[in-house]
Amino acid sequence: MPMRLSEEQIASLNRQGFLVLPDLFSGAEVDALRSRLPAVFADGHEGNIVERESGEVRTSMGLHLRDEGFSALTRHPRLVEPAL
């Protein structure tokens, strides 16, 4: 059964422009995505915004275009269905 947002969640989204859905993904699912980050951060892509002094990646744009795991996340039913 597709997840539907409550009226309260919709009102919060309209007020704040974003919605937090705690525990939408399991810890194991989040860990699997996190494990992909070192390779994405090391690819030298222009979407990686790094700190000048440390060279540490602070922001990485377009992950869904560069990594299949993050691409799949953008189409995951638990993330997409509430928006329908």
Q: What is the pLDDT of residues 48-68, one digit of tens each?
A: 999 999 989 999 999 999 999
Query: Which string of b and e fits 41-65 if b means at least 16 CB within 10 Å?
Result: eeeeeeebeeeeeeeebeebeebee
Domain range holding 39?
24-83
73 lies in some domain: yes
> pLDDT band at residue 82, thresholds of 50, 70 and 90?
confident
Tokens 């919605």 correspond to 19
14 lies in some domain: no
State the burial class of residue 18 (Cβ atoms within 10 Å of its Cβ: 0-12, 13-18, 19+): exposed
57 lies in some domain: yes
E strand or H helix at 20:
none
59 lies in some domain: yes
4 lies in some domain: no
36 lies in some domain: yes
68 lies in some domain: yes
As for how many domains the chain has, the answer is 1
